[in-house]
Amino acid sequence: MKVSAVPLALTALCISACTANIGGERPDTETETPPTTPPPTTPPPTGGPVDGAAVYAAECAVCHGPEGRGSGTNPSLRAESEFGMRHANLSAFPRLVRYNDASMPFGRPTACVGTRVGSCGFEVSRYIYETFLGQTVDEAAVTDENGDLMDLPEVKPPCVDQYAARQIKLLARHEVKATLESLLGVTVDVAGLPSDFTLAGFTTQVNGVATQPHVQAYFELSQRVAVDVRNAAFGGIADLSAACAAGTGAMAQCQTELLDGLGRRLFRRALTAEERADYAELLPLSDNDTNIALELTLSSLINAPVF
Ligand code: HEC
């Protein structure tokens, strides 16, 4: 399997910044740049069937481009887009309708809804499907006698988490070191992390000013530690995960044990079902000879904002 370093790094960053969005390499959507809010547009006509092309031009083109090629952090909606494989799986029309109905336009999802023929959600999806993907919607196959979409799949909505201002890490430098070393059985070098402060006699990160190099340092530390643990054949975490220490072949089991053992300790709570599902999406990145998924799981747990 050929995986270049950059997408891996981005994947790990995405996981840390917003676990709702694991699984694709969409750079930057979770960073400071929010998608541009479109100017107010004329609402789609009510009553008769909606004109998908007109809705697209009015509500969607501002972000996804007139030809659906995307712009900035707004993904392409064309077949060649890798994004289509994640949320919407654009090749499956019901999923596309469902996604658009529930999630688009981004930030104002109620501006275009509906899963029935003639509704905004259905018709704008039909427009994308036919114009950008060159497919034909087989209405008889996907809708019932009322024109309602028969199959209403659950489609994961986009990540819209907003975090208030806070320090980037909760733990002081020596705490990061002590925690990771005791859990992982490797030596952890915390050089480059923001300096600790002494406040009312306590050593703390509160009030610390975190700059880009610090963010980078946390990220690099998470990568380094993950590689060290992997190079040590997961021996240092045998108490947390017997399957990891036993070697390859039990990838999924190993990851589950990592999430239950290490994840729960680092996050100081159990991982949510959604977080677990997101991590599970990493598993296919590993093949028989590699355990990239485990390394990424480790590094993103360590780099997660909640640790
Ligand atoms: C304000 C900018 C904006 C507008 C307007 C907008 N989108 Fe999006 N759209 C996004 C962003 C950002 C994403 C990626 C969301 C994510 O996954 O976090 C996205 C994702 C999508 C996806 C999923 C792509 C994929 O493969 O995962 C579809 C389909 C989509 N938009 C359709 C539409 C339609 C239809 C409209 C108009 C009704 C619309 N969008 C309006 C910003 C926008």
Q: Where in the chain is the domain with CATH 1.10.760.10?
A: 46-142
The Å distance, Cα 74 to ligand 1 centre, comes to 6
107 Cβ inside 6 Å of ligand 1: yes
**pLDDT range class, residue 227, cuts 50, 70, 90:** very high
Q: Determine which of 56-70, 81-95, 225-239 has the lowest per-residue pLDDT on average.
A: 81-95
The Å distance, Cα 276 to ligand 1 centre, comes to 25
**pLDDT confidence of residue 274:** 92
Please say if the pLDDT value at position 169 is more than 70. Answer: no
Q: Given the CA of residue 37, which atom of ligand 1 is nearest to it?
A: 1
The Å distance, Cα 280 to ligand 1 centre, comes to 24
- CA 133, 135, 138: angle at the middle one, nearest 5? 145
CA distances from 251 to 90, 155, 217, 230, 291 (A): 29, 26, 28, 13, 7
Please say if the pLDDT value at position 18 is more than 50. Answer: no
90 Cβ inside 6 Å of ligand 1: yes
Please say if the pLDDT value at position 32 is more than 70. Answer: no
203, β-bridge pairs: 198
**pLDDT confidence of residue 95:** 85
Please say if the pLDDT value at position 156 is more than 80. Answer: no
Residue nearest to atom 31 of ligand 1 (CA): 104
More confident residue, 57 or 247: 57
Residue 237 makes CB contacts below 8 A (sequence gap 6+) with 183, 184, 185, 229, 244, 245, 258, 261, 262
259 Cβ inside 6 Å of ligand 1: no
Q: Determine which of 14-23, 41-50, 89-98 has the lowest per-residue pLDDT on average.
A: 14-23
Site to substitute for ligand 1 among 33, 41, 55, 60, most atoms within 8 A of C-beta: 60
83 Cβ inside 6 Å of ligand 1: yes
How far is residue 17's CA from residue 237's CA, in Å, rounded to a whole number? 25
- Fold designation for 46-142: Cytochrome Bc1 Complex; Chain D, domain 2 (1.10.760)
199, β-bridge pairs: 202
**pLDDT confidence of residue 1:** 37
Q: Determine which of 31-45, 69-83, 139-153, 281-295 has the lowest per-residue pLDDT on average.
A: 31-45
For the stretch 167-200, what's the b/e string if a residue is b when 16 or more beta carbons lie within 10 angstroms of its beta carbon? Answer: bebebbbebbbebbeebbbbebebeebbebeeee
More confident residue, 216 or 30: 216
